[in-house]
Structure 1
Amino acid sequence: MTSSHRPVDIMTCAIANMLEDGETVFHGVSSHLPMVAMSLAKNMHAPDLVHLNIPGGVNPSSIAKASYSSAGAELLDSGEAYFPLEEVFDLSMRGRLDVAFLGGIQFDINGNVNASVIGDYHRPKLRLPGGAGSAVLIPTAKKAIIWRVKHDPRTFVEKVDFVTTRGNLWKIVTPLCVFEFKNGKLHLDTIHPTSSLEEVRANTGFELLYDTVRYTPEPTREELNMLKKVDPHDYRSIELK
């Protein structure tokens, strides 16, 4: 397939359409893309979605000034209530956090996530931030969605260098495709219309598992128009610049 849409817009709309009305959803720092996707969902099909974030601003009225971090004071100042970060972890451990957006550096076919080191743990080539919220939220949130703006064989590897956390993933969204974790393995869910099976295979370091080749729906005109309203500064593409 071919498409004139930007991969980042396909990713954002795909993530938005994973969210359901009434769900309680959390994003962390440096999470512009999922933050925009949450706002898109809330303005399109999920008006009762509950938006939680690191500053603690519940359902911020606008993300248009969320600036560089997706964790700034704007989200708190425009929120309708305050829900501190420690309560988010407690909510998740009590089984009441529907969706958590999280990151990682390496992933393997068994759903292991590495956010700790590249290379040997004791003498790493690169030491990463570590598990932080992922170690708690991936195992405890009802649905853990990971987004990653890079898709290459160094990111999707045969075996991660270190297991920061594992299991309970739901989806991984990249500029090329969507993976779904089921039956203990990552399966190819959909390929973006800007990519191809051959490109996904060439950039994935493990065997692709799939039943049929399916494509991610292209953004609708209504979705693209709403994206311009909720994200006029194109924060969703910050990580890709």
Structure 2
Amino acid sequence: MRISDIMTCAISRMLKDEEKVFHGVSSHMPMVAMMLARSMHAPNLVHLNIPGGVNPKSIKDSYYSSAGADLWSTSEASFPLAEVFDLSMRGELDVAFLGGIQFDVNGNVNASVIGNYNKPKIRLPGGAGSAVLIPTAKKAIIWRTKHDKRTFVEKVDFVTTRGNLWKIVTPLCVFEFRDGKLWLDSIHPTSSLEEVQENTGFKLNYTEIKYTPEPTKEELMMLKKIDPYDYRTKEFE
């Protein structure tokens, strides 16, 4: 059982029919998950992306950045990136897929620096779209292909953006943000509560232990069809 398949299917199931959903660059897993959702249970989901395409038919040329020309050239319509931000700020973007480097128990996201801001160990790309979309999208989903104590910390080194997260999907589990804290939503079948806690820099909040459902045969078959080049595993390379 591959963790990339578990994560992609878990993300796909979070998406509902007729939702307007956006992914940016370096977002191969969400891109595939969105196409899986449209193919399985959400045929009217609206897929928006960086090149400005709506509901692209192909992702074959999107290997490098998940922003390939085919996301526009094979799409049903054009919806430029500036309009996506406007849509979100009007409260009409249902889901935005976003990234980050550090996350803390209070739902703060750091995408700016590691260490002191004025003399950082590492200077990161910064907020970019996250600073706008996390506060304004109805649901912000973050995915991360690493889960360790450097990523999930008690307090982030710098707050790039805060609050309004919905889910964080990692190779070990799914977190949900509620009541101002990150809560353990489900543990992947390839992991355990002990492993999640050992790799998390804060004490886990949970009320019950739930496990992420395994991908179904139908989902795995569809993944092979829509993602024959296995882009969903690219971020693990």
**TM class, shorter-length:** over 0.9
User: Aligned pair 1:66/2:62, yes or no?
Assistant: yes
- In structure 2, give the amino acid aligned to 1:171: K
Distance in 2, Cα, partners of 1:96 & 1:41 = 20
CA contact (8 A) 1:21 1:48 kept: yes
CA contact (8 A) 1:149 1:175 kept: yes
Structure 2 counterparts to residues 21-32 of structure 1, below 5 A: 21-32=17-28
Match of 1:174 in 2: 170
Deviation of 1:149 after TM superposition, in Å, equals 0.3
Match of 2:187 among 177, 187, 191: 191
Match of 1:57 in 2: 53
Distance in 2, Cα, partners of 1:62 & 1:72 = 10
Match of 1:91 in 2: 87
CA contact (8 A) 1:64 1:230 kept: no
Deviation of 1:101 after TM superposition, in Å, equals 0.1
- In structure 2, give the amino acid aligned to 1:104: G
**Number of positions where the alignment pairs a residue of Structure 1 with one of Structure 2:** 237
Distance in 2, Cα, partners of 1:66 & 1:106 = 27
Match of 1:215 among 205, 211, 216: 211
Match of 1:81 in 2: 77
Match of 2:122 in 1: 126
State the percentage of identical aligned residues: 78
Single out whichever of 66-75 and 192-201 deviates more from structure 2: 66-75
Q: Write out per-residue CA displacement over residues 157-182 of structure 1, whole angstroms, 9 at most, x where no aligned residue.
A: 01000000000000000000000000
Gaps of 5+ in 1: none
User: Aligned pair 1:115/2:124, yes or no?
Assistant: no
Deviation of 1:65 after TM superposition, in Å, equals 2.7
CA contact (8 A) 2:60 2:70 kept: no
Q: Which structure has the higher relative contact order (CA within 8 Å, separation 6+)?
A: 1
Gaps of 5+ in 2: none
Moved beyond 6 Å, runs of 4+: none
Q: Write out per-residue CA displacement over residues 70-105 of structure 1, whole angstroms, 9 at most, x where no aligned residue.
A: 012110111111100000000000000000000000
Distance in 2, Cα, partners of 1:97 & 1:183 = 22
Distance in 1, Cα, partners of 2:143 & 2:60 = 21
Distance in 1, Cα, partners of 2:184 & 2:94 = 23
Q: Write out per-residue CA displacement over residues 197-225 of structure 1, whole angstroms, 9 at most, x where no aligned residue.
A: 00000000001000000000000000000
Q: What TM-score, normalized to structure 2?
A: 0.99
Match of 2:100 among 100, 104, 112: 104
